[in-house]
Amino acid sequence: MAAVFSAAAPDAALEALFVPFETGQLSLPADGRVLFMRARDGFRVREMARPGWVCEQSFKPFADALERSRLRLGAPDSEERYPLVLVLPPRQRDEARALFAQTMRRTAPGGVVLVAMPNTEGAKSGEADLARLAGPLQVVSKHKCRVFWTSPLGDEATSALLDEWSALDAPRPNGAGYISRPGLFAWDRVDPASALLAEHLPADLAGRLADLGAGYGYLATQVLARCAGVTGIDLYEAERRALEPARLNLEDAQRVCGRPVAFAIHWHDVTQGLPHRYDAIVSNPPFHQGRADLPELGRAFIDTAAGALLPHGRLWLVANRHLPYEATLAARFTEVRTVTTQEGFKVIEARGVRA
């Protein structure tokens, strides 16, 4: 997805995060060590960062942008503690609470946690949640965001609330019985568009198949259940937090279908192309970032699929009915048909990749 996420695009929360340094309310630690959780690239980050900074980011396009700017990425399972931890929390509250708990455990005694959130994405709730863990906060408003930070912290790692909120990020069954975790796409249910695509998948799909934007693996499990000729499945997903739920769901699907099908799960930005060629590809492409529709995401997925299919290969995808994918499909395939249109979604099959 990196092609449509410009590092130069305005990022209000990222700009607001550094306001306390501009006003002199905070200063960088003397030893230069800073952890930036859910980091995103931008001019102010590149301007402020020092060799002791470490960035953590689970979304592959954002992680790639940080690396292109030569910002150091840290291991997600590290337990090193820092005198200053910067945080750009997600909107989903359970995911954000788990991140706050993790942040507290990664902050050294006497250190500070600094957070920025857009007002429209739960900033007041985020402020209240961090205050429950850390006590009274200092707060400023800027760029339609709330910026809040802790007083120097003691050692809070034994707090029962920290344990409770840390557990919110653990993979667990959702309402449909699939392993998931808060913050993933349609994490607590089966997305109706994906369910519609699964319902119409032909039983004669065979050979090596890829699922682009696989999420927690729902579509891939349905391929295993419905398409006996599929011999291998590669799942490509940009959100690293989805990889473990997807693995668990595919292992369970293998047990249910009673046949071993080789599968691999890749933390990968689909818009950058695929490393293998396939007999079939299925996808429910993402089409938005936050509240903004970005149909170019779906178009990029279609282009990538066309580039990765073998000459006889077939693409099956689902999309919101209003999304303008037909021109891209017609440019890349000789045969395109709408299989069904229901409840605002369309299922499309494309064959005959154009040279």
pLDDT tens for 194-233 read 999 999 999 999 999 999 999 999 999 999 999 999 999 9
107 in the same domain as 62? yes
pLDDT of residue 78: 81
176 in the same domain as 109? no
Q: Looking at the predicted structure, is the pLDDT value of residue 156 above 70?
A: no
Mean pLDDT of 318-334: 94
Q: Looking at the predicted structure, is the pLDDT value of residue 154 above 90?
A: no
d(CA 18, CA 137) in angstroms, rounded, equals 16
Domain boundary among 169, 196, 226: 169
Mean pLDDT of 254-266: 91
CB-count exposure of residue 188 (10 Å: 0-12, 13-18, 19+): middle
Show the domain range for 218.
Answer: 172-353
The pLDDT tens digits for 84-139 are 999 999 999 999 999 999 999 999 999 999 999 999 999 999 999 999 999 999 99
d(CA 257, CA 112) in angstroms, rounded, equals 51
pLDDT of residue 75: 80
First-to-last alpha carbon distance for the chain, in angstroms, is: 24
Rg of the chain, C-alpha, whole Å: 22
334 in the same domain as 272? yes
* Total domains present in the chain: 2
Q: The domain that contains 242 carries what CATH number?
A: 3.40.50.150
Contacts of 23 (CB under 8 A, 6+ apart): 140
Domain boundary among 122, 153, 169: 169
Domain boundary among 126, 145, 169: 169
